[in-house]
């Protein structure tokens, strides 16, 4: 799908996992995101769910922007900006999901932790290259 020659040529930071890890990790993370949305949606709540849905959709949209910025545009600073915005949106998403469903919020924790790790990798790649 993407020409990985450019990515393979980059100097990677310490702890950079092998490339084969990313696909199963993202499959798992998208599954947990879906589960979280299901738990949030089915939970009967007195609280308004609108902000939770907005933050979920915003973070998903921003998530989808990172890959083209990094792999297609090869723009490491832009991809770093995108992932930092994504980190913030996911925190807000977790916060608003927590108000309705603690389970929905907790299911997003692995996603958030992976994003923090991915942010570290993005910063490392920017500094080293």
Domain boundaries, the chain: 27-128
CA 23/CA 5 separation, integer angstroms: 17
> What does the pLDDT average to over 6-19?
94
Q: Which residue has the tokens 């770093």?
A: 80
> What does the pLDDT average to over 96-113?
97
100, 93 contact by CB (below 8 A): no
pLDDT band of 13, cuts 50, 70, 90: very high
CA 122/CA 34 separation, integer angstroms: 25
Considering the chain, what percentage of its residues have pLDDT values greater than 70? 99
Kindly compute the dihedral angle of the four CA atoms of residues 30, 117, 115, 91, in this order, to the nearest 10 degrees: 130
Q: 45 vs 29, which has greater pLDDT?
A: 29
Tokens in use for 125?
């790649």
pLDDT of residue 1: 63
60, 66 contact by CB (below 8 A): no
Whether residue 118 is predicted with pLDDT greater than 80 in this model: the reply is yes
**Closest alpha carbon to 51 in 86, 87, 99, 107:** 99
């Amino acid at each position: 799908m993407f020409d990985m020659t450019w990515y393979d040529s980059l100097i990677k930071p310490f702890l950079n996992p092998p490339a084969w890890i990313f696909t199963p990790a993202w499959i798992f993370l998208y599954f947990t995101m879906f589960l979280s949305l299901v738990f949030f949606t089915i939970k009967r709540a007195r609280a308004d769910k609108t902000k939770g849905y907005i933050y979920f959709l915003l973070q998903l949209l921003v998530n989808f922007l990172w890959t083209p910025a990094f792999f297609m545009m090869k723009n490491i600073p832009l991809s770093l900006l995108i992932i930092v915005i994504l980190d913030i949106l996911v925190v807000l998403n977790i916060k608003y999901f927590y108000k309705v469903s603690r389970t929905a919020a907790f299911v997003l924790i692995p996603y958030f932790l992976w994003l923090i790790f991915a942010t570290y990798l993005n910063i490392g790649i920017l500094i080293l290259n």
